[in-house]
Amino acid sequence: MRPKIWLCFAEVAWMEFATDDQGTLDISRITKRINLRPEFLGKAGANDGITIEMIRLANGSTAGESEDTAVPVLGSAQPAAHLVDSTKLPVAMIWLRSAEGLTWMEFATDDQGTLDISRITKRINLRPEFFGKVGADDGITIEKIRAANGSTAGESEDTAVLVLGSVQPAAHLVVDRRLFEEFVAELSFRKAKRHKTAYTDSIPIPVDEVQEVTLWEHEVEKGGVPCTTEHVDMLLDPERALLADLRYLHLWHIARNKPAGDIVRMKRSRNRSQADLEQVYYSHALTIMRASAQGQEEVFVLGEDHTFHDSARGDLRVYVRNMEHPSEMKAVNGSSNALNDPTGILSNKAAFGKLHNIIRAKLLKEGAGGTFLCTFLNRIECIWFAKLEYDSERRMIRCQVAPQIPAKGLMPSAQICPRLDEILDDNPSDKDVMLADLLDREPPSGFRCLTRYIDTLCRMNDVPIIPVAFMTDDGTCLDMEQARIVARGSKSLIIQVGEEDAVFKVGPHNSIQNEKRNLRAVDGRASNIRVMDQGVNGIVKGVEGLAFIKLKGCGRCISSMSWEQLAEFWTAMEKALSGLHVCSLLHRDIKPDNMLLIDEQLVLNDFDISCLAGDSVQLKQYVGTPEFRSPYWTPGAGVYVPADDWVSLGLSFSWLLSLPRVDDPLRGLIDDPRTPQDMKIKLSAAINHAKARDREFLNLLT
C-alpha cells in the first residue's frame, strides 16, 4: 500500500495525497479532503514509525475514512507536508518536509489560498539527493528558481527547491472563503493585541478554532447562550474550617524562598501605559494554585502544555482524576458596564472564549456533553471562576461566572495579590524580592475561593475530599470542630479550640520540631517561659509538611507599657532570658510580639528559630525581625552572640515605652532616670559585648 501524505491549510483541514513507491509527493492526485476535529490539530510532525496497518488495527477502519480515524496518521506519513500560519501575511505558508524529516521549505499562497510554487519565500537545506527533480512540463524554470532564490540553481543546498519536481503547479488548495476571512480578521485582532500589550513574540493563528473572540461571538453571543455572573456560593462548595488558612501557611513557607524579582524587572522595563507581560506571572500563579490544592490527592496543577503548537491550550491546567479544567491568564481584565455589558463577560470575551476554545477543541468527548469549572486570572492579582456547560452536540448551553466583574475603577472581590502594583514603590531593587513580599499575611478572598474551587472539582469528579485532621504522635485524632485562629505569625498559626486554656501552634514541620526540642530543653529549668503541653504534638493531616505543638495558657501580646510597669516586666524578661542562656540556648527573635501576658505574668514565647549556642551553622543565618534585631549583628559580622538577645530585649522595651529611635538605639533608655539601675548595667554590658562580638554569656547580675 502506498504511504499517505497529509497537508494542512492553516490548521483547518487535512488533505490526503498519494505518493509513489519512493515517497515522491504528487499533489495532482488528491484522494481525500477531511475536516479534522480541532483537538487533533497541530500534531503533524516527526516520523514516529506508525504504519497504515498499525493505524487500521488501532481504529478498526481505514485511516482517513472519517474524522475519528484521521488522527493517528498524523506524523506517521513519509514524507509529511504541513501548512502553517503566518503572523506576517494574511496568507498561508507551506512547509514541505523531506522523507527523512530533515528539512523544510516555505512557499506563499495567493489570497485565494492557491499554492504558488513560483513564489518561494524561504528555503532550508535539503540533502543533495533531492536535487535535479524538476521536470520539463511542470512550469518551473531554472530562471524562475534563480529569480526567487537570488542564486544559481544547484550551486548549493540552499537551492534545494529543485525538489519541487514532485509538485504539480496545477494543484490548488480549496479554501473556505468564510474561514479565510475569519483568519484575516483574527490575525488583525492579534496583531493589534500584540502591539498593545507586547505579551508575546510569536502568535499562532489556527483558523479552525476561529480564535477566542470570533468563536465566542459566533457560538455564544449569536447562539443566544445565557451568560450570567453569580455569587461565588452559587458555583463553589462551602469553605471548610481552617483549610484555606493551613494551605496559605504552606504557601507562605514556599513563597518566602521563591524569587519574584522577575516581576520587578519586567515592570521596571515598561512604561506605565503598557500592560504587564503575562508570561512573567505563570510560574507564580502555578505556585499559588498548587498551594491551594496542597494535600488533596488526585489533583494536579500543571503549566502550559507545550507539546501542542496551536492556541487551544490553557496557561494553567488543573487535572482531577485525569479530567482537565483549564485556566486562562490575561495581563488586563475588562470591566462591567451598566449600559452595554452589565455582567462584564463581553469585556472579557477573549479570556472566556479561550476557555471555550480549549474545551471545544480538546476536552469534550464525541457525543457527550459536560460541565467544566475553569479559572480566569488577571495576572496573580485576582481570579474569576467560569462554569461552562455543554450538550451532546458540543454546543455551549450555559455560562456562569463568579464573582461579579466590577465596573471600571472598582476592585475585584476575589483578590490574591492585592498589592501587586505597589511592588516597584516598595522594592527599589529586585535582588531580594520574594513572592511572599506580594502576599498578605492572612489568606485573601481569592485564595480562599481557590481552596473551595479545588473541593468543588473533587466533588464534580467523584474524588474523595481529604479531611484536615490534627494527629498526635501516638495516633490520636484531635477534635478541632470548634477550632478558631487567634493569632498569626510569619511562619505559624495559633489556634484555640473552644474556651480551652491552651493553644495549638501550627507551622512547618522542621520549625515545630525545633521549637519542641527547645521547650523540652528549658522545661523546669527556666521561669517566665511559655510551657508546652507534653505529649500533645503531631502532624496536620490533609496539608503536607505542617506539624503542631500544644502550648499551655492563652496569652495576649503587650503593645505598650507604662514606666510604672517597667521594673516588673524587666524582671520577668531578665529571668526568662537568663534561664534560656543557662540552658545554652539563644532566642534570636526577641520582640514585643513574643512577650505574652498569661494569667497576668509576662512570659517569653516563640522558640522556633532558637538554637544552641554552639550551633555555628544556625548562628550564621541572618534571622529575626529587622526592627528589633541587634544593630551590632550584620551580615558578614560573624555569628549571632548572646549579647544580641539582650540588645533585642532592650530595643523591645524602648519601643514599648515609645522612646525615640536615635543613632545609639538604647541610649535613650539607658540615660533615662526612670530606668532601673540593674537594667542600665545589663544593657550597657550587652552593648559592649555585642560590639566586640563576644560569644561569652553575660554574667547574671542581681
pLDDT tens sequence across 95-111: 333 333 222 334 445 55
Closest CA to 679 of 656, 642, 653: 653
Q: How far apart are CA 445 and CA 410, in angstroms?
A: 16
Asked if residue 627 belongs to a domain, the reply is: yes
Looking at the predicted structure, is the pLDDT value of residue 682 above 50? yes
DSSP 593-611: GGEEEETTEEEE---TT-E
pLDDT in tens, 432-446: 789 999 999 999 999
Domain total of the chain: 4
Q: Which residue has the higher pLDDT, 189 or 451?
A: 451
pLDDT score of 662: 76
pLDDT score of 310: 57
What average pLDDT does the structure give for the chain?
74
pLDDT score of 71: 31
Closest CA to 443 of 255, 260, 625, 229: 255
Q: How far apart are CA 607 and CA 511, in angstroms?
A: 9
Least confident of 33-42, 226-235, 523-532, 684-693: 33-42
- Indicate the residue among 416, 437, 460 that finishes a domain: 460
Least confident of 203-207, 248-252, 495-499: 203-207
What's the whole-number mean pLDDT along residues 333-360? Answer: 93
Answer yes or no: do 255 and 350 share one domain.
yes
Answer yes or no: do 384 and 289 share one domain.
yes
pLDDT in tens, 589-600: 999 999 999 999
Asked if residue 199 belongs to a domain, the reply is: no
Asked if residue 525 belongs to a domain, the reply is: yes
- Indicate the residue among 491, 518, 552 that finishes a domain: 552
Answer yes or no: do 75 and 127 share one domain.
yes
Looking at the predicted structure, is the pLDDT value of residue 313 above 90? no
Q: How far apart are CA 16 and CA 30, in angstroms?
A: 6
pLDDT in tens, 543-579: 989 999 999 999 888 999 999 999 999 999 999 999 9
Closest CA to 66 of 32, 28, 27, 17: 32
Q: Are strands 370-378 and 323-330 parallel, antiparallel or unpaired?
A: parallel
Output the domain CATH number for residue 537: 3.30.200.20
Q: How far apart are CA 71 and CA 51, in angstroms?
A: 13
* 98-102, 487-491, 683-687: range with highest mean pLDDT: 683-687
Looking at the predicted structure, is the pLDDT value of residue 202 above 80? no
Q: Which residue has the higher pLDDT, 196 or 186?
A: 186
pLDDT in tens, 591-628: 999 999 999 999 999 999 999 988 888 888 888 999 99
Answer yes or no: do 349 and 492 share one domain.
no
Question: How far are the Cα atoms of 327, 346, 375 from residue 214, in angstroms, in the given order?
Answer: 19, 12, 20
Residues 585 and 522 sit within 8 Å (Cβ to Cβ):
yes
Q: How far apart are CA 595 and CA 371, in angstroms?
A: 53
Residues 78 and 90 sit within 8 Å (Cβ to Cβ):
no
* Strand, helix or coil for residue 260: coil
Answer yes or no: do 344 and 275 share one domain.
yes
Answer yes or no: do 299 and 338 share one domain.
yes
Residues 650 and 669 sit within 8 Å (Cβ to Cβ):
yes
pLDDT in tens, 214-241: 889 888 999 999 999 999 999 999 999 9
Looking at the predicted structure, is the pLDDT value of residue 347 above 50? yes
Asked if residue 201 belongs to a domain, the reply is: no
pLDDT score of 425: 72
pLDDT score of 524: 83
Asked if residue 191 belongs to a domain, the reply is: no
| Portion of the chain with pLDDT greater than 70, in percent | 68
Q: Which residue has the higher pLDDT, 50 or 403?
A: 403
* pTM strictly above 0.75: no
Locus of grid cell 505559624: 492
CA–chain centroid gap for 657, Å, is 44
Asked if residue 572 belongs to a domain, the reply is: yes
Q: Which residues span the domain enclosing 152?
A: 4-166
Asked if residue 181 belongs to a domain, the reply is: no
pLDDT score of 176: 35
Asked if residue 12 belongs to a domain, the reply is: yes
pLDDT score of 595: 96
| Portion of the chain with pLDDT greater than 90, in percent | 50
364 φ/ψ sector (left φ>0, alpha ψ -120 to 50, else beta)? beta
What's the whole-number mean pLDDT along residues 280-293? Answer: 96
Answer yes or no: do 626 and 566 share one domain.
yes
Q: How far apart are CA 64 and CA 35, in angstroms?
A: 10
259 class by beta-carbon count within 10 Å (0-12 exposed, 13-18 middle, 19+ buried): middle
pLDDT in tens, 6-44: 333 333 333 444 455 554 444 444 444 433 333 333 333
- Indicate the residue among 460, 494, 510 that finishes a domain: 460
Closest CA to 641 of 616, 666, 604, 609: 616
